[in-house]
Chain A
């Protein structure tokens, strides 16, 4: 176990290094720079600006400088927001995305697992068809269709919520619901599949034979194995949810990290782009590691191999 974690840690570190380097150089070889959009900057001012941010140094020097400051946990200054560091901007925006993400994750897990379990227990009844239908529709109808439709129905026609914004707690409902449904659908399908496989096994029959109640059979015995497929799906999904969905943040005009990332790419805000990419990569890798460990805990048959 310990060996597994350390190997994976170093592997992730290597991957992270590749990501950082690839992004760093890709950003630099792109046409346009952070100051090209600004109107009529005289050559002297441009030179001063570049000197201020260290952009006049040779590229390899900048690269080493960046890696150096990264070691100290400093993601550098933003090129577009004067006097703000990338750390500050991420510190501002990430909590918004994380709040939206946690709410959606709650909806997705509770809704998805409940529906999937119900569908598996009541296989081939109307409850199963309903839940499976929901799963298929949820997978096939993308958030950028559901989102605007919900806004149209619940905000504009019924007037229950605001169409966009992130001020009151009522503003959280629609975005969290849309994002939650999008992830609840695949979770319900995975749960159903996993539960169906487990419910046929001998140990379930044994539990029933020993007189365990149906609820105990499902909750104590079956779920543990039935949720395995869900757990492996959750790694990448949670990273995506927590860092916010670009689409949801765009539709509902939520000041989260996803929207910031797209804007920063358009602005050629090199350091902010890099900072966001690093944040995503670290989150995904960390969560994948957690998922592997949880999987081994749920199913002793899974061998942790580096």
Chain B
């Protein structure tokens, strides 16, 4: 038993090279962790999301439970954020509304993401006349008054929540398409794509298996920044009475209600406004932090 290394020391030796060779993602994570505002954003978002998901189960009040004798009272020990004019607990309504707002934000972003990535990737990969035509179309669509079309859609075709996803998603994909296109054009000239081609892989495989994974950074960054834009659009429509309809609720709906009753019952406006702003704030910080961490240049074309 002279100098046989202990198992722990052996493990340390083996582990050492792992620590040295950090991957791109690990690097980015370390950089992101140093950004205090981004970390704050992550924590805030995590807490808000968990609260919205689990809070309603824990609360003694249902979101439609009325207490007309009580009416609207300010924050108290029984109702932490007060109640609305029908005596409904504001905290529970806020958490339920959060579910809808977040769900709309994520689903519409998914729609925008899918359209934008596929469109941009195809345009960038094939190039030439097809690319010119596709990007000219995007340019033209950029110059259209889109919020107006969303308003028209919502007014005309009932205020259907599925339509809301699609309408918002259809508006927000343009920038994603431009970013993906420019990234694809840069990556497709690299040697490993040449290699994939010479191995006889099909175009679809090359685009989705070889190119897209390499441009995930910008896609993630821009997705993070699209979510707040989408949530803002949803709340804006709900504020005009065109978005989510009662009895369903969203943060936009609650803000609208609060704004109508703020003269007597300030908490109905202040709490929904604060939580909504805090969420957008956190998402924006996180997106900015990711952009710095992944070192993505804001590219416009």
Which A residues fall within an 8 A CB radius of B?
A: 11-12, 14-15, 18-19, 23, 26-27, 30-31, 136-137, 139-142, 144-145, 147-149, 151-152, 156, 232, 239, 246-247, 250-251, 261-262, 265-266, 273, 276-277, 280-281, 284-285, 288
A284–B232 alpha-carbon span in the complex (Å): 21
Which residues of the partner chain A approach B232 to less than 8 Å between Cβ atoms?
A: 142
Those 8 A-B pairs whose CB atoms lie nearest each other, nearest first: A280-B145, A148-B259, A145-B273, A140-B281, A30-B156, A140-B280, A265-B155, A141-B277
Cβ-defined contact, B281 with A152, below 8 A: no
Contacting residues, chain B, for A18 (C-beta < 8 A): 140
Which one of B17-25, B106-114, B116-124, B233-241 contacts A? B233-241
Whether the pair A152, B280 counts as a contact (CB closer than 8 A) is no
A288 to B55, CA, bound (A): 47
On whether A137 and B143 interact (CB within 8 A), knowing A152-B266, A247-B239, the answer reads no
* A140 B144 Cβ-Cβ under 8 A: no
- Contact present for B269 and A149 (CB under 8 Å): yes
Interface residues of B (CB under 8 A from A): 136, 139-140, 143-145, 148, 151-152, 155-157, 228, 232, 235-236, 239-240, 252, 255-256, 258-259, 262-263, 266, 269-270, 273, 276-277, 280-281, 284-285, 300
Known contacts A12-B143, A280-B145, A140 near B284 by CB under 8 Å: yes
Cβ–Cβ < 8 Å partners of A266 in chain B:
155
* Given A145-B273, A277-B145: A251 in contact with B151 (beta carbons within 8 A): no
Q: How far is the CA of A285 from the CA of B145 in the complex (A)?
A: 9
Supply 29 A–B pairs (Cβ within 8 Å), ascending by A: A15-B140, A15-B144, A18-B140, A26-B156, A136-B284, A137-B281, A139-B280, A139-B284, A140-B280, A142-B235, A144-B236, A145-B269, A145-B273, A148-B255, A148-B273, A152-B266, A156-B262, A246-B236, A246-B240, A247-B239, A261-B151, A262-B155, A265-B151, A276-B148, A280-B145, A280-B148, A281-B143, A281-B145, A285-B143
Q: Are B152 and A273 touching (Cβ within 8 A)?
A: yes
Structural contact, B148 and A144, CB atoms closer than 8 A: no
Are A145 and B276 in contact, with the CB atoms below 8 A? yes
A27 to B263, CA, bound (A): 38
B256 contacts across to A, CB distance below 8 A:
144
Query: B269's contact among A148, A265, A273, by CB below 8 Å, is which?
Result: A148
A187 to chain B, nearest CB (A): 16
Tell me the complex Cα distance, A239–B281, Å: 26
Interface-centre pick from B136, B228, B255, B277 (highest chain A CB count, 10 A)? B277
Which residues of B have CB within 8 Å of A247? 236, 239-240
Contact of A140 among B157, B228, B262 (CB under 8 A): B228
